[in-house]
Every structure is written in structure tokens, then in C-alpha cells.
Amino acid sequence: MTLDVAWAIDWTRRSARVVTEHREELIELDRQIGDGDHGENLTRGYTAVVARLDALEPAPVLVGDVLKLVATTLMSTVGGAAGPLYGTAYLRAAKVSATPVLDSAGVVALLEAALEGIVARGKATTGEKTMVDAWTPAVEAAVAAADAGADAAAVVAAAAQAAAAGAQATIPLVATKGRASYLGERSAGHLDPGAASSALILQAAADSASA
């Protein structure tokens, strides 16, 4: 599909579905190196997002209208680290997506802005075992795909694939940001929950683009 407002809506609904489907798994990951609420936090947040999307009047016209609604809803309904991090990501992404349709450069800009938002908020860099380790390779893969002439849907697909690999690559890392950092060396050997949920959300974006 064209990456228009209908895609943004589908991506949002699909994210809610996927996060809810993986609720237990995200809780279990967070139980291992955090406080066990990540799956619950995101399910609550995205459920609220879908409720507000259903009630949104007038209907959104720009991709950024949808992303802004996701941002403000996640910020106000998700406690803990993930709410402000994802909220800032969507807010920055919304600002660069004030358009009815995204081309491949537009998708790259959206993803870059989201990563910048996460970094601005959380001050993490790569290798610290956070969602940044999923988003950074996602952005790099998106840039490479766009440079190679990929269309917008293929750019999102490349980003999703790189995010999944980036999330898996958090397993051996020692956390130095967020709650998992309290465990020190004992955080190694576990998949970071925020990187895992980021990979799910980006895969949802790709699945909506190819639907």
C-alpha cells in the first residue's frame, strides 16, 4: 500500500494488536531484567490509542495527525520509561510527517526523527541494551535501502528486518541505561524488552505497508 494516512492508521491498529498478542512475552522479558511491566504498559497504552483513534473527529488527513495522537496518548497512559520514550519518538516522527503520503525519503525522515526522539529523551547510545539498539540499525538499513532506490514500503521492510536483528543482538549486552542497568553484569544473556517491542512495532509498520 501507499504509505498514506490509511497506512498510518493500519500501522497503529496493527501495533496495538501485536503488542497485545505479545503481552506475556514482553512481561516475561521485563521480569528477567526489569520490573515485569513492559507488556502491560504497552498493552494499556496502545489500547487507549485505538480507542482515541476510533473517536477521532475530524478524521486524520496527514500521516503526522495519526502519529501525534499515538504520541500524546502513550505519554499520558504509559508509565515507566517506555511511555515518554515512545511518546517522544512518535511526537518527533509526527513533526516530520505533516504530509498525506510518505515517499522513501519521507519514511527515512520519520524513522530518523523517532530515533532522535528516543535518544533525546533517554540519552542512551548503541550498545547500552535498550530500544536504541533496535532503532539505530533500523534507521541505518532504511537509509541504505532508500539510497539504493527502494520504494517506501521496501524501506520500511528493511528497517523492520534490521530492528529484529538489532533486538536479538541485545542478548549478550550488559545494560548501562534503564532499570536493567541495576543488574550490572547479570543483565547479560537476556533480550531487552524495549528492543523487542520496538522490533514488533516496526514489523507492524512493514506488514501494514505490504498489506
Q: Which positions touch ligand ADP (CB under 6 A)?
A: 30, 34-35, 37-38, 41, 80-82, 85, 118, 122-124, 130-132, 177-179, 192-195
Residue type (1 letter), 63? V
Q: Select 44 or 68, whichever has its Cβ closest to Mg ion.
A: 44
Q: Smallest distance, Å, CB 16 to Mg ion?
A: 19
Residue spans of beta strands (DSSP E) within 1-82: 3-4
CA distance 85 to 117: 7
Site map 12..31 versus Mg ion, x via CB under 5 A:
------------------x-
Residue type (1 letter), 165? A
Residue 112 binds Mg ion (CB under 5 A): no
Residue 39 binds Mg ion (CB under 5 A): no
Residue 80 binds Mg ion (CB under 5 A): yes
Q: Smallest distance, Å, CB 197 to ligand ADP?
A: 8
Residue 38 binds Mg ion (CB under 5 A): yes
Give the residue among 130, 175, 131, 139 at the shortest CA–CA distance from 158.
Answer: 139
Residue 37 binds Mg ion (CB under 5 A): yes
Facing residues of 163 across strands? none
Q: Smallest distance, Å, CB 62 to ligand ADP?
A: 27
Q: Chain-centre distance of CA 51, in angstroms?
A: 19
Q: Which residues contact 148 (CB under 8 A, 6 or more apart)?
A: none
